[in-house]
Each structure stands twice: as C-alpha cells, then as structure tokens.
C-alpha cells in the first residue's frame, strides 16, 4: 500500500512550484524519493526543480535515475528525463552528452519545436554560469544562540537534535512558548482529521513537519508515524518543543496553556549555560514511581527508543539504589488511601515527607505537589489551617515552577494557599484537637 503522504507531497510541491519556491518544491520531492525510491516520477520532478535552481549536476543525476526506473510504456517520462538531462549536460559543457540526449528525446516522440530550440542552443554552445544555490534548511531553528533566547537547538549526539541552555536558567524560568503547528488540544485526531489538517499546511510548514522524527517508519504511513512520535497530549504538534529530549530526571517540564493556545516549557531546577534541557515523555508516577526497566519498556513501546538518560545510564549499584527510591515512592502513594485520616494523620504526613525527600534524593524536581496536595487536604480535615497553609504553599511553589503563575493549576493552588479554609473538600474541618506543626520538609 502506498504511503498516504505521497499524494500530499506532490500537491504541496506543485503549490510551491507555482509560487516560484523551487527550493521548497525540491525538498518536498526529495522526501518523495526517500519514501518511494522505485517510482521514477519523484526524481524526474526533482530534476526539473534542480534545473530551476541551476543545480546542473543534481539535475543530470536525477534524470539519469528516472531513466533507470522508467518502464518501456512510460515514453512521456523518458522524453522528460532525456530532455532535462540534455539541458543539464549542455549547461555543464557536455555537448556530446547533450546531443545524444536530444536525439533520444526526439526518437521517443519529443516535440519538434523543443528539439529545434535546444539544438540551436547546443550549436551555439550557449551555457549559463553555474550559480551557488541558496539551500533551504528543513528546520526553522538556528544553531546559533541569540542572547535574548533562553535556549538554542543543536546536535545532541545519538539523540539527534536537542535543546541547550543559551544562558544560566533558574527554577521557574519560562524557557519556551510556542504556538502549535497542528493543534489538537483536547483529543487524539483520527487519520482523516489529521489528513485534513495536513492539507491546510503551507508547503514550507509541511517541510517543517517532515523534519520531525518518525519512530514508526516501517508502518507505511509517514504522517501518522511522525504525529504519534511527536504529538503532545495537549497541544498536538509543536515543532521546537519536539526538539527537547527525554530524561527520567528532567530539568524542565512542558505543559499546554489553553488560554493562549501555547505549548510552554518551564525550568524545574537550575540549568547552567550550555547544558542540555530535558523534559519527561512519561507522566507522574510512570516516571518517578517506576524502575529503570519499567521506564525503558514504556518508552520503547511509546517512542521506540532505549532510554540512556542520567537515571537509566547509571552503573548497576547506583541503578539499584535509584530503583529502590522510586519503588518506595510508588509504594508510599499506593499505601496512602489505606490510612485512617482520623487516627493516622501523623504517620500519613510523615510518609508524605519521606516521599518528597526521596524525590529530592533522586534528583527529581517535579510533582512534589502530588503528595503535598494530599498532605494539605489531611491538615484541612483536622482544621489545622496553619499546616494546611504550609502544604498548600508547597503545592503553589511547585506549580508555579512547573506551569507558570498564570496556569489554571496554579490559580487554584494560590487560592488555597491564601485562604486554606476555602478548600473544596467535603471533609474539611470535620476533626479537631490535633495539629501537625512539627511535621515539615
């Protein structure tokens, strides 16, 4: 079955060609060649773009490739290939080769007026100076790091591209805010919905989309593969945000800000200039409460890569210690619903402190609000508003750092911090006489 993207590539390349954007059209045809290398149409079309861009050698090579793929019944394709190679060879000064191609063009039924016009050029030895073409990058990002930017995109070794700190970054700093290229903030699109959205992309935006990694190339659907590899749970396809690589010890976190329709990334901890910025492709307990083997299995299934981040790349002994911490964190979370909130309040808060401290030992600086929010709720049940305020403060600080002050998550945390008695909890204030002021991080 043919890859559905081939039709879209042809349509968008034709659109770019009509606009005179031969560089974009050439790049789109190059993707067609890579996806379907046995179809002579793709190098034949790219040969024409190379002629328009004065890339004579490339035009000759593509025409030769098309001729090798042409079937005997495709005389129109052979005509075009011979004619385009003739032009390319003439421009390079290969008069004998150009003459032979012109004869082959005529013998396959090439138009007489084109033969006569090209013969005059050959006879006059008219050549066009070879120009140095301006190559178009498939990426919008520059590898330079302008001083006003927080990050820059560069080579990240075997991970491909990655994002790096352009300056010292501190916890809570906004690193990126970006409008999605293909926004699907509330659902995973069907293939039909995705195809309709792709049809509305400009040729250059399609090129940018195609610059993203596809971890499912063997499934024969490039659009679906790229989307599933790179789409954010909220936000859809966001190009620059997709350049941030994964770590099970992330130093940054992404989130979708619905009010502005922007994907954002905030720093979770201090990131010195030049250090790579990592986010987590796994969520909450699937990362901080999972062992290395569990995380690697999830990432392999979801993203088709073997994680070797700072946590997964530890030697055996350190990895066992890391697994122990994360397993204990998960165990604490699973045990929390079993506590009696009336009689086990102190033990409950003590294991919350234990869980958050284990996160710190693990170098994991997100999601403390998962546990602190539960601690605040318990203190509210006991009408210990001072302690509730303390734990709401932890929640608020964590969410400011992770999502920004203007996120819906943070607004609620701020309200609860400023007035713990306003907490929307059906059991707030039902117990009295016990305080927990001595239990803190």
Residue-wise pLDDT tens digits, 387-403: 999 999 999 999 999 99
Collapsed DSSP state (helix, strand, coil) of residue 282: coil
Name the fold adopted by 151-288. Answer: Beta-clip-like (2.170.270)
- The answer to whether 231 touches 294, Cβ cutoff 8 Å, is no
Residue 400: phi, psi to the nearest 5? -60, -45
Collapsed DSSP state (helix, strand, coil) of residue 285: helix
Specify the pTM: 0.83
Picking from 190, 234, 227, 186, the residue whose alpha carbon sits closest to that of residue 403 is 234
Task: Please provide the distance, in angstroms rounded to a whole number, between the alpha carbons at the two ends of the chain.
Answer: 59
Q: How does pLDDT run along the chain (441 residues), one tens digit per residue? A: 689 899 999 999 999 999 999 999 999 999 999 999 999 999 999 999 999 999 999 999 999 999 999 876 567 899 999 999 999 999 999 999 999 999 999 998 889 999 999 999 988 865 444 443 433 434 443 333 334 689 999 999 988 899 999 999 999 999 999 999 998 877 788 888 899 999 999 999 999 999 998 988 878 889 989 998 898 888 899 999 999 999 999 999 999 998 999 999 999 999 999 999 999 999 999 999 999 999 999 999 988 899 999 999 999 999 999 999 999 999 999 999 999 999 999 999 999 999 999 999 999 999 999 999 999 999 999 999 999 999 999 999 999 999 999 999 899 999 999 999 887 777 888 898 899 999 999
Domain 38-124 is found in CATH 3.40.50.2300: no
Both tokens assigned to 108 = 């396959």
Beta-bridge mates of residue 342: none
What count of other Cβ atoms lies within 10 Å of the Cβ of residue 25?
Answer: 27
**What value does the CA radius of gyration of the chain take, rounded to a whole number of Å?**
30
């Amino acid at each position: 079955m043919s890859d559905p993207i081939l039709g879209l590539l042809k349509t968008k390349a034709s659109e770019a060609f009509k606009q005179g954007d031969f560089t974009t059209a050439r790049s789109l045809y190059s993707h067609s060649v890579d996806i379907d290398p046995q179809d002579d149409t793709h190098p034949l079309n790219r040969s024409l773009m190379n002629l328009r861009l004065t890339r004579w050698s490339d035009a000759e090579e593509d025409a030769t490739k098309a001729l090798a793929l042409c079937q005997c019944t495709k005389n129109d394709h052979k005509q075009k290939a011979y004619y385009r190679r003739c032009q390319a060879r003439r421009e390079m000064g290969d008069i004998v080769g150009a003459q032979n191609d012109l004869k082959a063009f005529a013998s396959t039924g090439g138009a007489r007026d084109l033969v006569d016009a090209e013969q005059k050029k050959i006879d006059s030895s008219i050549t066009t100076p070879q120009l140095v073409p301006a190559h178009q990058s498939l990426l919008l990002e520059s590898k330079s790091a302008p001083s006003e930017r927080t990050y820059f995109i560069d080579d990240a070794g075997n991970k491909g591209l990655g994002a790096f700190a352009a300056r010292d970054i501190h916890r809570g700093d906004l690193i990126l805010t970006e409008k999605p290229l293909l926004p699907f903030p509330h659902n995973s699109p069907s293939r039909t919905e995705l195809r309709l959205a792709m049809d509305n992309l400009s040729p250059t935006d399609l090129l940018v989309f195609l610059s993203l990694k596809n971890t499912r190339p063997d499934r024969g659907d490039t659009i679906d593969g790229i989307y599933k590899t790179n789409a954010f749970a909220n936000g859809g396809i966001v190009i620059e945000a997709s350049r941030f690589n994964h770590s099970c010890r992330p130093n940054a976190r992404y989130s979708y800000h619905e009010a502005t329709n922007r994907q954002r990334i905030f720093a979770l901890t201090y990131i010195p200039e030049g250090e790579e910025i990592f986010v987590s492709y796994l969520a909450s307990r699937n990362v901080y409460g999972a062992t290395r083997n569990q995380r690697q299995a999830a990432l392999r299934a979801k993203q088709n890569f073997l994680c070797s981040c700072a946590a997964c790349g530890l030697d055996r002994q350190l990895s066992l210690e890391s697994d122990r911490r994360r397993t204990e964190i998960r165990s604490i979370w699973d045990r929390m619903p079993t506590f009696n909130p009336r009689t086990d309040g102190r033990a409950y808060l003590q294991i919350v402190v234990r869980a958050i401290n284990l996160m710190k030992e693990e170098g994991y600086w997100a999601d403390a609000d998962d546990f602190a929010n539960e601690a605040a709720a318990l203190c509210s049940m006991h009408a210990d508003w001072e302690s509730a305020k303390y734990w709401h403060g932890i929640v608020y600080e964590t969410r400011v750092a992770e999502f920004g002050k203007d996120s819906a998550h943070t607004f609620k945390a701020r309200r609860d911090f400023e007035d713990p008695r306003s907490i929307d909890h059906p059991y707030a204030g039902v117990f009295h006489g016990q305080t927990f002021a001595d239990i803190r991080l």
